[in-house]
Copies of this chain bind each other. A is one copy, B any other.
Amino acid sequence: MPDIDATDHALLRLLRSDGRRTYSDMAGEVGLSVAAVKRRVDRLQELGVITGFTVQVDHAKLGWTIEAFTELRYAGTTRVADIVQSASAIPEVHAVFTIAGDPDALIQLRVRDLDHLQQAIDQLRRTGNVVGTKTLMVLGSWTRES
């Protein structure tokens, strides 16, 4: 684990709340020069602490109004890599978590409507050696952004 000091953590916090914040803004916040801030952010990327920058999208505004988690159980012979590969190939799949114990995987889905959800789940069941599913419909969500 590399040495990440309090200033680095402050910069990460600032970039989390706004990934396009300028170096001069951050420099003012942490009390360093613009060049020093850029050097630290570059270093965090080289270390792999920062893996990238992205945009946050409200999927509901694009018509993908339904979010769900599906727990998958696989046949005993299924390998973890196969689970990820087959699930991630489905466009409705937003994230795949392989799990220790029961279930074997937790799949985060985003779909347009209930019909669309059923199609996505059917597709999940068909891929790999799925022996059982349980779907949790998301009513609301909160995500940390500090």
A39 contacts the other chain (CB 8 A): no
A residues 48-72 with Cβ under 8 Å of B? 48-58, 61-63, 67, 69
Decide: A19 near B19, CB < 8 A? Known: A94-B143, A144-B88. yes
Q: Inside 8 A of A95's CB, which chain B residues have their CB?
A: 141-144
A16 contacts the other chain (CB 8 A): yes
**Cβ contacts A95-106/B at 8 Å (1 or 0 each):** 111111101001
8 contacts between A and B (CB under 8 A): A1-B61, A1-B63, A12-B57, A17-B52, A17-B54, A51-B58, A98-B139, A106-B136
**Cβ contacts A103-134/B at 8 Å (1 or 0 each):** 10010000000000000000000000000000
Distance A145 CA – B111 CA, assembled complex (angstroms): 16
- A-B pairs with lowest CB-CB distance, top 5: A19-B53, A15-B55, A100-B137, A52-B56, A19-B54
> What bracket does the count of chain A residues touching chain B fall in?
35 or more
Counted per complex, copies of this chain come to 2
A residues touching B (Cβ–Cβ < 8 Å)?
Answer: 1-2, 4, 12, 15-20, 47-58, 61-63, 67, 69, 80, 84, 87-88, 93-101, 103, 106, 136-145
Nearest B-chain residue to A107, judged by Cβ: B142
Contacting pair A18 B48 (CB below 8 A): no
Q: What's the minimum C-beta distance from A144 to chain B, rounded to whole angstroms?
A: 5
Q: Inside 8 A of A1's CB, which chain B residues have their CB?
A: 61-63
Distance A80 CA – B61 CA, assembled complex (angstroms): 23
